[in-house]
Amino acid sequence: MYGAGKKGQGKVDRDKVLEGLRSLDGDRALKRLLVRTLGYEAEGGLVSGDSWPEELDGEPELFATAGREGRFAVIRTRLNTPDKLSLTAERRTIERLRDRYPYALYVFSDAEDRV
């Protein structure tokens, strides 16, 4: 398994990736997995847009990038619904982001940051 981030990065420890996925409990753990374990570049800016679905709690965040010229993006979005994710809101959000970030992993959480 190879990292997606920095040029020339060697193999990624599969066990560390699995451990990171099992202990995924919020933004900090996600960033640690992406940046430290997989070699992505940390980002942090908000993705502004005209009309996000009403279920969103703020604007989506450009969380991390990888690949040539950062073409692969990880977009982090929080919904304002507790204990529930909305597939409809996720689809509408992805539709608005897809032209700008065609190569992306979209990560959604509920209002309590459960990803």
pLDDT of residue 112: 81
Does 8 map to a domain?
no
Tell me the two tokens of residue 57: 């709690």
DSSP H helices in 1-115:
14-22, 27-31, 87-97
Does 45 map to a domain?
yes
Does 1 map to a domain?
no
Does 36 map to a domain?
yes
Does 4 map to a domain?
no
The Cα 46–Cα 60 span in angstroms is: 6
Does 9 map to a domain?
no
Pick 89 or 6 by higher pLDDT: 89
pLDDT of residue 7: 45
- Reported as a single tens digit per residue, the pLDDT across 11-47 is 677 777 777 677 777 777 788 888 888 888 989 899 9
Please provide residue 50's backbone torsions phi and psi, each rounded to the nearest 5 degrees. Answer: -75, -55
Structural domain count, the chain:
1
Torsion of CA 12, 15, 19, 22, to 10 degrees: 100
Domain residues for the domain of 23 are: 14-109
Does 6 map to a domain?
no
Contact present, 113 and 80 (Cβ < 8 Å): no
Reported pTM: 0.77
